[in-house]
C-alpha cells in the first residue's frame, strides 16, 4: 500500500527558521529540505516572501522554492503576505501558497499592518492573478486563520468571528482555509468546536489542515482532537523549532518527530521513515549549532521493538 492517511506538513524551514536567531546558510537549507523529502515528508513550507529586511533568515526564499520545486513528489508550500508574494511564489514554482489572516484585527494591524478589509481585497487580487495562470502552474491557495484560538493582544477571539472570516475569505477566492493557533492558546474541546463551526460555514472539504502550537503543552492533545474531527493535514516543525516558545523548556511548534511517532503508533500512515528523519535532524543540528532543539522521541528513543506501519 502506498497511501498516506495523514499529511505531515513540515514548517521548520519557514516557521522554524524565521523565529531563531541564527541564519541558516542557503546550501544547508537545501540539504535539509532534500533530506526531509527523502525521509518521506510530502509537503514542506520552505519559506516566506516577506521583505528581506524584515526576515533576513528567509531572504533566499525564491532560490529555495525554485530548488525545492525540482524535488519529485514534494508539495512545495510558501507563505505569502500579499499579491506581490503570491506572484513571486507562482513564478518560482510553488505548489501551494498560504496567506496569513489574523482574525484578531488588532493583531492584523500590529503584525501585517493591514485591516481585514484590505486583506479581503488582497485575497481577491491573488485569486485574479492565479486565475490568469495556466491550471498546471496555479498554486493551491490557502488562507490561514491565525489567532483563531485567542490573541495575545485581544485575548479571547470569538468563534463567530472566525467563522465569519472563513466565509468571507472563501467568497473572496481562497481555495481553502486553515486554522492556526498562533499563540498556543488552543484546547482540545475548542479545536473540535471551531473545526465543526468553520466546516458548517464553508464545507467539510474546505478545511483540511490545522497549525497548532505546543506553547502550553497541549500540542499533541490538540492534534488528537483535530484527528477525531477528520482533519488530514497537520503542520509541525522538526525539533519543534519556531512557533512561540514563551515558556522555557517548551517547544513552540509541535515536534515533527513526536507527531510522527504518535500517528504511526495509532496505525495512521505518514509515509515517513524514522531513521531518515533522524538523519535530517542531524543536518539541522549541524547547521544551527547555537539553537535549542526539542523532542521527546529524539531524546528518549523509540520503544524497543517498535515498528512503523507498512508503507
Tell me whether residue 15 or residue 176 sits nearer to Zn ion (CB atom). 15
Half-sphere exposure (Cβ direction) of 121: Cα atoms closer than 13 Å: 5
Which position among 126, 166, 244, 259 bears the catalytic label? 244
Shortest separation between residue 291's beta carbon and Zn ion, angstroms: 15
Tell me whether residue 219 or residue 243 sits nearer to Zn ion (CB atom). 243
Q: What b/e readout covers 184-207, taking b as 16+ CB neighbours within 10 angstroms?
A: bbbbbebbbebbeebbebbeeebb
Shortest separation between residue 87's beta carbon and Zn ion, angstroms: 25
Shortest separation between residue 211's beta carbon and Zn ion, angstroms: 6
Cell of 237: 516543525
Cβ–Cβ under 8 Å, residues 76 and 69? yes
Q: Provide the residue count of the chain.
A: 311
Shortest separation between residue 180's beta carbon and Zn ion, angstroms: 7
- Segment 226 to 255, residues that bind Zn ion, using CB under 5 A: 243, 253
Cell of 224: 488528537
- Segment 7 to 26, residues that bind Zn ion, using CB under 5 A: 15
Tell me whether residue 15 or residue 105 sits nearer to Zn ion (CB atom). 15
Tell me whether residue 254 or residue 297 sits nearer to Zn ion (CB atom). 254
Question: Helix-strand-coil percent breakdown of the chain, rounded to 5?
Answer: 45, 15, 40
Does residue number 183 form part of the binding site for Zn ion (CB under 5 A)? no
SS3 label, residue 263: helix
Residue 244 annotated as catalytic: yes
- Segment 80 to 139, residues that bind Zn ion, using CB under 5 A: none
State the residues that interact with Zn ion by CB under 5 A. Answer: 15, 243, 253
Active-site positions?
A: 244
Amino acid at each position: 500500500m502506498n497511501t498516506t492517511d495523514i499529511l505531515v506538513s513540515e514548517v521548520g524551514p519557514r516557521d522554524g527558521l524565521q523565529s531563531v536567531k541564527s541564519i541558516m546558510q542557503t546550501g544547508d537549507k537545501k540539504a535539509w529540505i532534500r533530506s526531509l523529502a527523502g525521509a518521506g515528508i510530502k509537503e514542506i513550507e520552505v519559506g516566506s516572501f516577506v521583505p528581506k529586511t524584515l526576515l533576513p533568515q528567509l531572504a533566499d526564499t525564491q532560490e529555495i522554492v525554485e530548488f525545492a520545486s525540482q524535488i519529485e513528489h514534494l508539495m512545495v508550500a510558501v507563505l505569502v503576505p500579499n499579491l506581490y508574494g503570491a506572484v513571486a511564489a507562482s513564478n518560482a514554482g510553488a505548489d501551494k501558497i498560504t496567506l496569513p489572516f489574523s482574525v484578531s484585527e488588532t493583531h492584523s494591524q500590529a503584525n501585517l499592518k493591514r485591516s481585514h478589509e484590505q486583506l479581503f481585497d488582497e485575497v481577491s487580487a491573488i485569486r485574479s492573478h492565479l486565475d490568469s495562470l495556466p491550471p498546471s502552474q496555479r498554486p493551491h491557495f490557502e488562507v490561514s486563520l491565525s489567532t483563531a484560538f485567542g490573541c495575545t493582544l485581544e485575548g479571547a477571539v470569538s468563534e463567530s468571528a472566525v467563522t465569519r472570516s472563513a466565509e468571507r475569505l472563501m467568497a473572496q477566492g481562497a481555495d481553502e482555509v486553515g486554522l492556526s493557533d498562533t499563540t498556543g492558546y488552543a484546547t482540545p474541546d475548542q479545536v473540535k468546536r471551531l473545526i465543526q463551526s468553520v466546516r458548517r460555514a464553508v464545507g467539510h472539504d474546505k478545511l483540511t489542515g490545522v497549525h497548532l502550537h505546543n506553547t502550553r503543552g497541549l500540542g499533541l492533545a490538540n492534534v488528537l482532537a483535530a484527528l477525531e474531527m477528520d482533519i488530514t493535514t497537520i503542520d509541525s516543525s522538526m525539533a519543534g523549532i519556531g512557533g512561540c516558545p514563551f515558556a522555557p523548556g517548551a517547544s513552540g511548534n509541535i515536534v515533527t518527530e513526536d507527531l510522527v511517532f504518535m500517528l504511526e503508533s495509532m496505525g495512521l500512515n505518514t509515509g515517513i521513515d524514522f531513521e531518515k528523519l533522524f538523519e535530517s535532524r542531524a543536518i539541522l543540528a549541524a547547521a544551527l549549532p547555537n539553537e535549542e532543539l526539542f523532542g521527546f522521541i529524539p531524546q528518549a528513543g523509540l520503544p524497543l521493538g517498535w515498528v512503523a506501519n507498512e508503507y
